[in-house]
Structure 1
């Protein structure tokens, strides 16, 4: 109806139809229509603007959706940003990137140095949906990280900031379960709906519901009301063993803390008392705590525990100084001299037996040595006397042929030789 009206009016405006179609979005479109047409001029201009203006708004339908974090605290960042709607032309020219540090400062946000070298790429899932993948090569040690993502394509640009919340490493096992649940449920949802249209699977669907409801009931009945903390147990281990399947580990930890405040030192989840008897909270008490509130409480508890550890570590320098003093005092040479004297002492002790037996033995040894010396001197004396006798005989034989004066001198010299030898 409207299109027919538009064709009739355009036919009545003579040759200005072509320029009117090209200039309908400007004020010139109204000037090209003769004044005699009056209200027809306004109707035609409004209709043209409506027809040609609607497609223009759809050209800027590209937007950045929610962000899903796949890494934990202390690990390199891995996250995905959903893109709800994007056409082939936009996907071909889309270039996502991280904003410069100057943009962070102008927006009042802090640029985390761990984001340096962040890789941002456009990816496509198996079902055809597009998303932006963010990966860093550095570990992120802060629980909160601010991001400003820029997306530029051939016909537009969009900027959006995100605040990423990173769970502690102890809660990392919970993240893959949440991330994989939508993907697994997304593909099989449509086939069961088509099969359920036939009357055959209807009886099988009715017993399936009681089976799912019976499982939590059985798990709740088997869960104990009291738990005793043994040495070496942690609050995370206890909460993981007794928590219901429909709640998170953070919710169970906070519920345990509130139900058993006296079992934790300074009210900290990381300082649980050994031997304490914990009261297990009910499913209603755990579900009453929101997941966001529980995550914030656990992160705050982790910060307090880190501050407690840093406070204990501040005493380490005093212990190191004491150890250095002990090392310096031990390096004394007097100890080495004592060891040498102690090593020489056993030699003296082994030679002396001590007491009357030792003295008698020493006297016997001295007497034997004296007798041996006397025997040696007597043997030497006898040998000397023998030599003198032989010498005297030789002198007597020589005296029979020599004058008497030299003989007398020789006989007189013999005693001198004997005395000298003796």
Structure 2
């Protein structure tokens, strides 16, 4: 009964969480864009982060303000607070009537000898909400950059561009593409492999690129990407056709990211497309996680229904506890022991009637019986010699079905990234699973290894 109640409660909570997830609208249109590094290595840091807002956010723009992030928040999230040692100045500036920028500045250069990247958490609040985002800013001269999941080529190019002299964004994109052709799926700059190591373009690659070539390359890449997505330039209005903004971005163009000023309509279009790709990847990952969670919930529901049907039909009782299962055996052993003690007492009493009373202990009586076996009847002696009163508690029995249900519950915890609860459930399973089903032990150890691997990353 307790297992059934616990599982039913967990199932209800999981269903409620999924319902809330799909019912709550994604109304938060104020987001933070990709960082633009304006300073060079060994210079005082200066970076700009665009604030993207939608038309529905205009009533709240006047209440936009920086939300300072304390050192304790860095420590809670496991992020290095090294940036706070440089006392960064974080300000919110309005570069256009309806556009804002977060400017991050330090008075002194950031030491990048040991680590060319530095982490910072930026927070923004307004009258009815807030948002925070973690950034890894490139402050040192690096020869290789690792692509993070969901990161676009424009974001990387905007950070590495200050190290490439006077190269503009289009030239930086083409140089990165030429220096790392294997990092792009299908040869498209919009499909960058996560985890790929991008080499920094050298001077010879940059010198071989002209601004016209770079612009033409980017235009062709954008056109190919639109055709691959099945979008038609004729479906847009004349004004949109000039900027070549994808039709899928219509209606939300106001909250798209502007990587840098003065980069032209084509560069802005390219960044729009790359950002759509990143959002699609994140959406696909979320859908996969929801599908896995729904599968685990369905498995839990099947187990609950099967147990409920068995209980109603009286075919399968609930798992017995250790005392319930071994109770009759303990009672039988107890009765046997009592019978043996009574026989022993009767034999001892008969001896006392023939001789003087003796104050010997139970151990003395045992030694006397062994010295004079005729004093104890043979049947009683046989019973006494076969008795073992050192009873050990019966081992606790665990139901394999219950462990499988707990294993599915651990999978559900992993799906919703509650690794602490999943680890606790798996540790409880591993304590007893080897005595019940080796397959459950193997599955539990595999999930534990998956949790450890995710924590390492």
Task: State the TM-score, normalized to the length of structure 2.
Answer: 0.27
* Structure (1 or 2) with the larger CA radius of gyration: 1
Task: State the TM-score, normalized to the length of structure 1.
Answer: 0.29
Bigger relative contact order, structure 1 or 2 (CA pairs below 8 A, ≥6 apart):
2
